[in-house]
Amino acid sequence: MTTRQITLPVTGMTCASCVSHVEGALNNLAGVEKAAVNLGAAKATVEYDPARASPAQMFAAVADIGYEVGTAQATLSVSGMSCASCVAHVEGALNGLDGVTKAVVSLALNTARVEYVPTLVTVAQMKRAIGDAGYEAAEPAAGVSAMDREREARQKEIRRQGMYLLFATPIALAVMIGTFYEYLAPAFRQFIPALLAEKWLLGVLTTPIVFGPGRQFFVNSFRGLRHGVTDMNLLYATGIGAAYFIAVINTLWPDAGFGGKGATFFESAALLTWFIVLGRYLEALTRGRTSDAIRKLMSLQPKTARVMRNGNEIEIPADEVLVEDLIRVRPGERIPVDGLLKDGYSAVDESMLTGESLPVEKKAGDTVIGGTMNKTGAFSFVATKVGADTALAQIIRLVEDAQASKAPIQKLADWVAGHFILGVHLLAILVFAFWFFFGYQMFFDPDTSFILSPAKLSEIGVFGFSLLLSVTVLIISCPCAVGLATPSAIMAGTGKVAEHGVLFKNAEAIENAAKLQTIVFDKTGTISKGEASVTDVVVGGEAHDSKSVLRLAAIAEKNSEHPLGEAIVRGAKERGLEVPDAEAFDSIPGHGVEARVDGREVLLGNRKLMAARGVDLAGLLAKAEELERDGKTVMFVAVDNAPAGFIAVADTLKDYSVEAIRTLHALGIETAMITGDNRRTAEAIARQVGIDRVFAEVLPQDKAAEVKKLQAAGRRVAMVGDGVNDAPALAQADVGMAIGSGTDVAKETGHVILIKDDLRDVVVAIEVAKATMRKVKENLFWAFIYNTLGIPLGAGLFYPLFRVIISPELAAALMAISSLTVTFNTLFLRRFVPSLRRGARGTGGPEAPRAPVLVSSAAK
Amino acid sequence: MDLDRKIALTSAAIYSALSLTASASFFVAATVTGDYTAVARIGGALWVLLLSYIVTMPPVISAVKKRMKATQ
């Protein structure tokens, strides 16, 4: 069976129980293997068998339980249609696309109006489908970008709850003043008409609040109940409904036995609704801010590109650029897609994608990344990656996936919150039964009042009192904050770290990264540059200086293809030396080269070569051996059979490797290096960089085994690497961090991608992960402490002692405060700056590295 | 009768029976054990009935659905 995976944007979810609600509806569909919903991202990821289930069935299942799959609309102008059957053809072509929920074609207007799920299908695909059906579709007459749609959906929710709030606020205030009229100070009371205290008027005022802004709770909970699922709306609906119903009965029929006129809690129903709507409004306002990063990334995508077609420069939508299109970019413009620079020269600001603050110079042959800003010159480039294949699109997808995934701690929190609702209703029955049969008779005092309220409950009967406590338990137990605690922090954390050029692929990686104890680095290409460089030039006699030694060696090696020879030539050129061709050149395999330069015989090679030619190295050997102990390779130079000096070549450290390792040590993390190199070279590099442990002479296939050994010893291990041979170790590690400049295999295997070639981003990843998980724990603490304290309070546990109970509206206020505490606490994460990004960075110099304390050789 | 309808009816029969039993038990207990007004007894029984419905519906529907789909 082949399964497919799709991501559906789901709107209308407000709490953790909505998550289990939607997951339940999707999982119950035949053919759905697994459905996972993320509240923070408002997305459902569904794995399904396309032969047995379709996206349309999923949309219907989600809609059926009262939520909506976020759709967008586009209007395409279609030409070539002549009759009704053309309409059917075009509609058929569009409806055949996964992700199109509805397509209506108008023959008279020559348009196709399409409702679609943006995560499943694009406008460009629709146009292609229409084209394949034999018609022509022009650019959408109306359509909005993904970012606009996302913002529009959020704005719609903010507007909706804002309108409700605007409507409910003055009325709720009037109801509150009317209810407490007789307790008001006389000076204030003279401005209030006494009529406002009339119970029937309070009822008239409360009714539009309950059935206006409060209607959403009744409708949603009814839809859910029809399908056998419960959510927060049900808590609100039963709370508001019970308070309102009792108040109406006591107003119209005060002798019915529900507590009479003294128990008309219209203000409870009104204020309860008001608090919940206020909470939802503030939540809609603030929750959007936790996903700022994704919006920032989306805003980088230019909407249009200027493409050369048939010799003309035309402007087309960026998503219609094809691979190999030649694209023109002017100064100040964003680069629309990824490509290879063909003509021109410029400096490009890539900070938005890589975090690198300095503009990067670009010349012909260099790659350019879509979404980055061209600063100085105009240039043209050939598109190499377009649409979903661009680096920016992949980054956005990775961040979205990470935000949509669930950390293990979140799965637990969701499970608790999802089962909490039923537990709360069960508790409400028990509380009601206890106070009805025992509590009221044993403890009720006519002087009973609500906390923070002067009103007395003297007239309330056993039923009214028990019901009040039962309703309060329902309201105060709402686990909204529990549901929000983890996803909001994960969302903010993944976004924050993406700003620094670090991409977490899922939430589990964040949780694991926060617990790391050991980080194993691949050597070549990760800690070191992976290419040899000239590190020392030592002169052997007064006849030469370092420049002449290097120049002669470079000329001798110019035609060599040996990596050490190439390093010497490159080293000479980097030092500004001219390297002409040698007059004669001969390679001595395994030993070195000999050449004639400026009429002199130059010999370059190892000890054996020098000994064979009778060159006396006595004055050079001590220094040469010292450098060899540091892992450097020494090449001796002799001119006319006399020693001229030697050149040391080594794989050099990358910039900032030392600084990164030093900071990791400061964080209390052990560092290790794994390499196939010989022990001496590995130890030399480890000494320079300050690595704690070295695994040398490890075969590529054994790297994962070394990581496994560390894990078996109880360590939580991260592996940082870039090569294909690192992939198994990256997969084996608790957290695999792939260097962005590395191979695709490494990036696909790793759990974290470091976009830049900068080891300090390992520190950034760990610090942000730690900050995120700290925030998750704080949030969960606040959420659970609220429920832990709130439920006994609401159930009247302290009533026998203090003779006060908590009112439903105060319970609602506390519930709203709990959710807001969590959301605002998460927002503080946006201000977090990793230590290495705070102002001045260290120099990255090699000072104060630590010597390896344990060196193990793992030769196989 | 299609499966969905069968699931809905079977589930409704079970959770209604459970809820009505809980509600009736409350009513009987209130009648037998104390001097409660009719409104309190009936109101209490209705409140218990409502909450019992809410408590029993999700697990009963889910269990019936699972069992019926498994035996299909």
Q: Does A411 touch chain B (CB under 8 A)?
A: no
- CA-based nearest residue to A755, from A355, A413, A449, A473: A355
Query: Using the beta-carbon criterion (under 8 Å), do B47 and A234 form an inter-chain contact?
Result: no
A709: CB partners within 8 A, 6+ apart: none
Supply angle C-alpha A244, A247, A252, rounded to 5.
125
Helix axes A232-252, A462-476, angle to 10 degrees: 150
Cα torsion angle, A216, A221, A226, A231, sign: positive
Report the residue from B40, B47, B69 with minimal CB separation from A257.
Answer: B40
Query: Using the beta-carbon criterion (under 8 Å), do B39 and A428 form an inter-chain contact?
Result: no
Q: For residues A456 and A218, give the distance between their C-alpha atoms in angstroms, rounded to a whole number.
A: 30
Q: Does B28 touch chain A (CB under 8 A)?
A: no
Q: What is the pLDDT at residue A822? A: 83
Q: For residues A400 and A388, give the distance between their C-alpha atoms in angstroms, rounded to a whole number.
A: 13
For chain A, how big is the Rg over CA atoms in Å? 35
**What does the DSSP 8-state code read for residue A854?**
E
Of B42, B52, B55, which to mutate for an interface test with A (greatest number of A Cβ within 10 Å)?
B55
Q: For residues A219 and A828, give the distance between their C-alpha atoms in angstroms, rounded to a whole number.
A: 35
CB distance A372 to A353 below 8 Å:
yes
Gap between the terminal Cα atoms of chain A: 41
Placement of tokens 């900068």 in the chain: A758
What 3 state SS string does A817-847 have? HHHHHHHHHHHHHHHCCCHHHCCCCCCCCCC
Longest dimension (CA), chain B: 52
A634 φ, ψ to 5°? -105, 135
Q: What is the pLDDT at residue A857? A: 35
Q: What is the pLDDT at residue A402? A: 66
One-letter amino acid for residue A441 of the chain: Q
CB distance A113 to A75 below 8 Å:
yes
Alpha carbon of residue A547 to chain centroid: 52
Report the residue from B39, B59, B62 with minimal CB separation from A463.
Answer: B39
Question: What three-state secondary structure class fits A509?
Answer: helix
Q: Does A429 touch chain B (CB under 8 A)?
A: yes
Q: Does B30 touch chain A (CB under 8 A)?
A: yes
b/e A477-501 (16+ beta carbons within 10 angstroms → b) = bbbbbbbbbbbbbbbbbbbbbbbbb
Burial class (CB in 10 A: 0-12, 13-18, 19+), A44: buried
**Contact map slice: A 23-52 vs B, CB within 8 A:** 24, 28, 30
Q: What is the pLDDT at residue A840? A: 42
Other beta carbons within 10 Å of A384 = 17
The pairing of strands A326-329 and A379-385 is: antiparallel
Q: Which residues pair with A633 in a beta bridge?
A: A649
Nearest CA of chain B to the CA of A808: how many Å? 17
Which pTM value belongs to this model?
A: 0.64
CB distance A771 to A495 below 8 Å:
no
Placement of tokens 């998503």 in the chain: A319
A522: CB partners within 8 A, 6+ apart: A673, A674, A675, A703, A719, A720, A721, A722, A723, A726, A729
Q: For residues A728 and A223, give the distance between their C-alpha atoms in angstroms, rounded to a whole number.
A: 48
Chain A residue with CA closest to B61: the answer is A228
**What does the DSSP 8-state code read for residue A80?**
S
- CA-based nearest residue to A581, from A560, A603, A563, A607: A560
Q: Where are the alpha helices (DSSP H) in A750-844?
A: 760-794, 799-802, 808-827
Chain A residue with CA closest to B70: the answer is A30
Supply angle C-alpha A429, A432, A438, rounded to 5.
130
Q: For residues A70 and A241, give the distance between their C-alpha atoms in angstroms, rounded to a whole number.
A: 30
Alpha carbon of residue A693 to chain centroid: 32
Report the residue from B47, B57, B65 with minimal CB separation from A467.
Answer: B47
Q: For residues A630 and A608, give the distance between their C-alpha atoms in angstroms, rounded to a whole number.
A: 21
Show the low-confidence residues of chain A (pLDDT under 50): 108, 140-144, 146, 840-860
A469: CB partners within 8 A, 6+ apart: A431, A432, A435, A794, A795, A796, A805
A668: CB partners within 8 A, 6+ apart: none
- Helix (H) / strand (E) element for A422: namely helix A408-434
Q: Where are the alpha helices (DSSP H) in A191-346?
A: 199-211, 215-226, 232-252, 266-287, 292-299
Q: For residues A636 and A541, give the distance between their C-alpha atoms in angstroms, rounded to a whole number.
A: 13
Q: For residues A464 and A171, give the distance between their C-alpha atoms in angstroms, rounded to a whole number.
A: 25
Query: Using the beta-carbon criterion (under 8 Å), do B59 and A437 form an inter-chain contact?
Result: no
CB distance A624 to A646 below 8 Å:
yes
Q: What is the pLDDT at residue A332? A: 85
Q: Does B71 touch chain A (CB under 8 A)?
A: no
Nearest CA of chain B to the CA of A421: how many Å? 9
Q: What is the pLDDT at residue A846? A: 36
- CA-based nearest residue to A295, from A77, A468, A129, A146: A146
| CA distances, A367 to each of A313, A348, A380, A501, A636 (Å) | 22, 11, 12, 18, 39
Cα torsion angle, A401, A403, A409, A413, sign: negative
Q: What is the pLDDT at residue A166? A: 94
Domain count, chain B: 1
Burial class (CB in 10 A: 0-12, 13-18, 19+), A671: buried
Q: Which residues pair with A635 in a beta bridge?
A: A647
CB distance A491 to A290 below 8 Å:
yes
Cα torsion angle, A825, A831, A836, A842, sign: negative
Q: What does the DSSP assignment read for A675-737? A: -SS-HHHHHHHHHHHT-SEEEES--GGGHHHHHHHHHHTT--EEEEE-SGGGHHHHHHSSEEE
- ipTM of the modeled complex: 0.94
Query: Using the beta-carbon criterion (under 8 Å), do A230 and B54 form an inter-chain contact?
Result: yes
Active site positions of A, annotated: 522
Q: What is the pLDDT at residue B19? A: 95
Q: What ranges make up the beta strands (E) of A90-203? A: 100-106, 111-116, 136-142
Extract the tokens encoding A388: 């979903």
Burial class (CB in 10 A: 0-12, 13-18, 19+), B70: exposed
Longest dimension (CA), chain A: 124
Structural domain harbouring B13: 3-70
A738 φ, ψ to 5°? -100, 135
- CA-based nearest residue to A771, from A498, A514, A504: A514
What tens digit of pLDDT does each residue of B29-55 get?
A: 999 987 888 888 988 999 999 899 888
Other beta carbons within 10 Å of A580 = 11
Query: Using the beta-carbon criterion (under 8 Å), do B43 and A463 form an inter-chain contact?
Result: yes
CB distance A683 to A855 below 8 Å:
yes
What tens digit of pLDDT does each residue of A755-787 get?
A: 888 889 999 999 999 999 999 889 888 888 887
Extract the tokens encoding A404: 């949509």
